[in-house]
Amino acid sequence: MSDNVRELVHQCLRGDQSAMVELVSNFRGQVFGLCYRMLRHRQDAEDVTQESFVRALRSLGTWDQQREFLPWLLAIAGNRCRTLLAIRMHQPATSSLVEHLSDDAVGIRDAENLAEEVDLALSHLRAEYRQAFLLFHQHEMSYSQISTTLDCPLGTVKTWVHRARRELIARLKDRGVLQESRHAVRRV
């Protein structure tokens, strides 16, 4: 972690509001990006991003300064996202992008729609798989960092990312976005 961030954190701990503004501005993109991909709903992502920063600033004193700041921050955001996803599971579905896309025709091939299909497939992953996949591919964190962030063994993180890839491909094939091999019955 850079000394700049550490200094910013120290200023925040002293109650400097301008430092808090700078800290939020520096990391809002990463936190919002994760929340948006996890939740696939802009307003929810904004709310969870805001809540994550508030929690982080209130518990800055508990952050181990020997560790990197961003994984710690993303861990808070990821936990909030998973909590919201768990709540959603117990609520009746509302209109969302997921439903909109589900009505789309199968067989889309262009890059833009491929991205949308990947986004849709991501939403069907288990929250742990999705978060691990996003931290690895979107935030380019190492398995070691993700392991710390998610507080689970490194081997587990690796398994989650691999399963996420495999399940995404399976779903894209089910949707007809990716073709099955014509040559043989695929192994599972």
Residues that bind other proteins (CB under 8 A): 15, 17, 20-22, 24-25, 28-29, 31-33, 36-37, 42, 45-46, 49-51, 53-54, 57-58, 111-112, 114-115, 117-119, 122, 137-138, 140, 143, 158, 161-162, 165-166, 168-169, 172-173, 177-179, 181, 183-184, 186-187
The residue behind tokens 């520096």 is 26
55 versus 91: smaller Cβ distance to other proteins: 55
Q: Provide, rounded to whole angstroms, the least separation between the CB of residue 90 and other proteins.
A: 26
Q: Provide, rounded to whole angstroms, the least separation between the CB of residue 111 and other proteins.
A: 5
Pull the structure tokens for residue 160.
């989650």
Q: Which residues of 7-24 are buried (b: 16+ CB within 10 A; e: fewer)?
A: ebbebbeeeeeebbebbb
Cα separations in angstroms, 25 against 5, 46, 159, 174, 186: 12, 14, 33, 40, 47
E strand or H helix that includes residue 60: none
135 versus 161: smaller Cβ distance to other proteins: 161
Q: Provide, rounded to whole angstroms, the least separation between the CB of residue 66 and other proteins.
A: 25
29 versus 153: smaller Cβ distance to other proteins: 29
β strands within the chain, DSSP E: none
90 versus 109: smaller Cβ distance to other proteins: 109
Pull the structure tokens for residue 152.
């689970």
Q: Provide, rounded to whole angstroms, the least separation between the CB of residue 148 and other proteins.
A: 17
36 versus 72: smaller Cβ distance to other proteins: 36
Q: Provide, rounded to whole angstroms, the least separation between the CB of residue 113 and other proteins.
A: 9
Sign, CA dihedral 154-152-117-36, equals negative
What is the DSSP-derived secondary structure letter of residue 185? P
Pull the structure tokens for residue 116.
């949308």
